[in-house]
Structure 1
Amino acid sequence: MMQLKNGEIDTFTVEPADFMTFQTAYMAFEFRKRIIGKAEKNGTVIYHYDHDQTQ
């Protein structure tokens, strides 16, 4: 998630089988409210970081 925040990557994908592991890390991430997910078919979620949001 820090790679998203730092602009090193634009998106990352979480597959349904990995969601619970991701959720644990997500909840501990300080800037989680700026990580935006879009659900795709079959439960895959693609996340990006909202760099434009005011703090």
Structure 2
Amino acid sequence: MARSGRASRYNVPLFLEGNSDFIVKPLVPVDGDQEEYLTVEQVLRSRFDSTYKTG
């Protein structure tokens, strides 16, 4: 667990492999959350693309 200001934040190492088809949902739902959640693969690909964007 890492501390960022007043809020607690949990980190998961990206080398931790999981089921790429698993649906990622928040632990505590918030009003207005999207109806369609992303898969593990979509989340990791999005983070990878935003970090290592070329061009």
- Do they superpose with TM above 0.5? no
Bigger Rg over Cα: 2
TM-score normalised to structure 2 length = 0.26
TM-score normalised to structure 1 length = 0.26
Q: RCO higher in 1 or 2 (8 Å CA, sep ≥ 6)?
A: 1
Structure number having the greater helix percentage: 1
